[in-house]
A = this chain, B = another copy of it.
């Protein structure tokens, strides 16, 4: 296609509302168009990229016996009532009524629809196992969409659902799918994507993994042990804290701490290391507004997902008022006279002497020993592990915490949906059982944006050949010179006939503008037809990643260009595991 005819504008200035690079390039390069908060239209280059990603996913799903189906976007609310999620899921599930007043939802995930599709089919054990998948539009009414295609409200997703007779069979297939996911990311040109253990959240089930692309722009924290290779997301990583150096009992003493509010200010004022302090973080339960006070070591932070899982209900940061009985800034576990749920984080376990709030304005205690002064308490893990922390697997202090973008996830769901929705099969022995499910998701647009995040320079994306919108970007430097234009036209024609995907720039614009556009489109192979080289019967061949730059004869150009494309594919496929 000719760039002159392609809809969408490209420009130089970084939009002020774009925080991450992939977002900026998606706007500057004419890839996406903002329609509403978290809702975008896709211009041709991005649609070409997402089609290629969809095809890679489709091939890998078909290769592991996936059967492509299609579920509706608009689903009856009754289906979500069957699973219990109509009530349990928050505002991100968009609920509405149709013209007849029937309750509907926009599908944000399709476990219910998957069970409904195969509930009658799967009534005997002989039908198992099987996996169905779709590639389709989803809507998740995110409170805070951000970063372009990375966190949107409407998105294209591949979601797959497998059904099994036994947990062992689910685990067997889960492993097959785990590998297929690796191949998908390897084929998309980001073999560095790693699988990390994750918390299952609202999906239910036990074992699950997230596929993470390490990137500073990511909003997820990934816990990695540099020694044993342990990997988990922040929610799933146990925070084992070594307090062996904080020994030594002291007497409990109330001290005046005027104007010292933060835990750092107080410990500094009292000359105590922050590790020997007990910080209070306050929440309220969504359902009842009851207060929840979490006590943890002063240098740690609460992980709200862990806390929610422990409490078994949703929470929000507390709005402390006079009636609560809590003294903001001075809350501590000793003499706490307030109606609230108290949670002791395991990071406090083993510290023999602590600084903490005295539940009285401008006063703290020092020398608190929880066992002596409060008694036996239950320590639970609700805090975030930090770089330098203890690996929960190998026990060494070799944890590092990195940022990442979640590009896919796989879950062992168990019987959560088949039980609630009454899906049963008759086993060989005549007994009725619920099949066991797994589910497997990849966000197509988010993967495209993530690849851009991982593969770009200051001037634009550097698309891997496997998902690039085109393979070759052909520039005619002087449309006003007949020989130059003819040579470029001819090459455009020959390349297309040879099956090469070409975007052709034959506009009468400055070289600078032409190359800036080429950088923004990020096509892997660039071919420049200019008068100077052409005088020697040559054209210029280079790669977007700058590893190739050479002149080649016009006569053999098509073959040489095809060879470079083949090499680029081979390079990517060399990293694809069996």
Given the known interface contacts A41-B116, A99-B141, the answer about A47 and B70 at a Cβ–Cβ threshold of 8 Å is yes
Query: How many whole Å from A514's CB to the nearest CB in chain B?
Result: 16
Q: Find A72's partner among B68, B94, B154 (CB 8 Å cutoff).
A: B154
Q: Would A72 and B113 count as touching, CB distance under 8 A?
A: no
Query: How many whole Å from A72's CB to the nearest CB in chain B?
Result: 5
- The answer for the CA separation of A37 and B37 in the assembled complex, in Å, is 30
Q: Would A35 and B116 count as touching, CB distance under 8 A?
A: yes
Query: How many whole Å from A28's CB to the nearest CB in chain B?
Result: 14
- The answer for the CA separation of A42 and B73 in the assembled complex, in Å, is 12
Tell me, yes or no, whether A569 is within 8 Å of chain B by CB. no
Query: How many whole Å from A563's CB to the nearest CB in chain B?
Result: 26
Query: How many whole Å from A101's CB to the nearest CB in chain B?
Result: 11
Tell me, yes or no, whether A132 is within 8 Å of chain B by CB. yes
Name which residue of chain B comes closest to A112, CB basis.
B35
- The answer for the CA separation of A492 and B99 in the assembled complex, in Å, is 50
- The answer for the CA separation of A76 and B37 in the assembled complex, in Å, is 9
- The answer for the CA separation of A462 and B365 in the assembled complex, in Å, is 84
CB-CB < 8 A to A106: which residues of B?
A: 74
Per-residue contact bits, chain A 64-105, to B (CB 8 Å; 1 contact, 0 not): 010111111111100100000000000110101111101010
Q: Would A143 and B99 count as touching, CB distance under 8 A?
A: yes
Q: Would A41 and B99 count as touching, CB distance under 8 A?
A: no
How many copies of this chain? Answer: 2
CB-CB < 8 A to A75: which residues of B?
A: 35-36, 39
Tell me, yes or no, whether A556 is within 8 Å of chain B by CB. no
CB-CB < 8 A to A50: which residues of B?
A: 70
Among the 9-residue stretches A3-11, A174-182, A524-532, A537-545, the one with 4 or more Cβ atoms under 8 Å from chain B is A3-11
Q: What are 12 A-B pairs with beta-carbon distances under 8 A?
A: A5-B130, A7-B67, A7-B117, A7-B118, A7-B122, A7-B130, A36-B75, A41-B71, A47-B70, A94-B96, A99-B143, A136-B137
Which of A's residues lie within 8 Å of B, judged by CB?
1, 5-9, 33, 35-37, 39-44, 46-48, 50-51, 65, 67-76, 79, 91-92, 94, 96-100, 102, 104, 106, 113, 116-118, 120-122, 130, 132, 134, 136-137, 139, 141, 143, 153-154, 156
Instruction: Give 14 new A-B contacts, CB below 8 A, not counting A7-B132, A39-B75, A96-B96.
Output: A5-B65, A6-B67, A7-B69, A9-B120, A39-B76, A41-B113, A44-B68, A46-B70, A70-B156, A72-B154, A73-B73, A73-B139, A73-B154, A74-B154
Q: Closest 8 CB pairs between A and B?
A: A96-B96, A42-B70, A36-B76, A91-B99, A44-B67, A99-B141, A39-B72, A41-B117
